[in-house]
Amino acid sequence: MRRALFPGTFDPITEGHLDIIRRALKIFDEVVVAVAPAHHKQALFTLEERKELVEASLAGMPGVRVVDFEGLMVDLADRLNVDAVLRGLRFVSDFEYEFQLALMNRQLNRRLETVFMMPSAKYSFLNATIVREVAQLGGDISTLVPPVVAERLRARFSGAS
Ligand code: ADP
């Protein structure tokens, strides 16, 4: 049983994240999506909302589990007994931060390996910040996020939630 941990803030989950999860399921038997508190960012959605949107977006996808966590990702990885941490790489600009993070995580837990996967080129420009900005300005984000997320963003920016 090969298990990967896919940590992130998912504020909100996008088609880019889903693309990485689908690819990972070709290699791993289980992908545990771990929703983190947004300490380093100003989040649009609460941890609970972000987790709920991840769950709704992944409903019915076999081999996927969703958790939320506090504290160090490497401790969660230990607790869940995962074989690898999964991260997405879009551009060279992601590389520097991801490289630092992977080596810091290795420093914290030498048994843990990080696996990087590239999304389809059509999602390589996509990040949650840009989705939030476009949605706030009333742009069409329906091809960039799962329908449940598009709906929630519309509601949020129309003042309904
Ligand atoms: P974090 O705050 O940990 O970066 P994110 O939710 O922004 O949380 O990202 C979680 C992971 O998903 C990261 O590895 C990030 O590189 C990856 N990711 C985000 N958007 C995309 C995308 N469009 N394509 C591929 N990977 C992505």
pLDDT tens profile 124-135: 999 999 999 999
Q: Of 76, 157, 138, 82, whose CA–CA distance to 112 is shortest? A: 82
pTM for the predicted model, two decimal places: 0.95
Residue 43 has pLDDT above 90, yes or no: yes
Residue 161 has pLDDT above 70, yes or no: no
Going from the Cα of 79 to the center of ligand 1, the distance in angstroms, rounded, reads 22
Average pLDDT, the chain: 95
How far, in Å, are 28, 58, 60, 106, 143 from residue 22 at the CA level? Answer: 10, 10, 13, 25, 17
pLDDT band of residue 67 (cuts 50, 70, 90) is very high
Pocket around ligand 1: residues whose beta carbon is below 6 Å from it? 8-10, 14, 16-17, 20, 87-88, 90, 94, 119, 123, 126-128
pLDDT band of residue 153 (cuts 50, 70, 90) is very high
pLDDT tens profile 114-124: 999 999 999 99
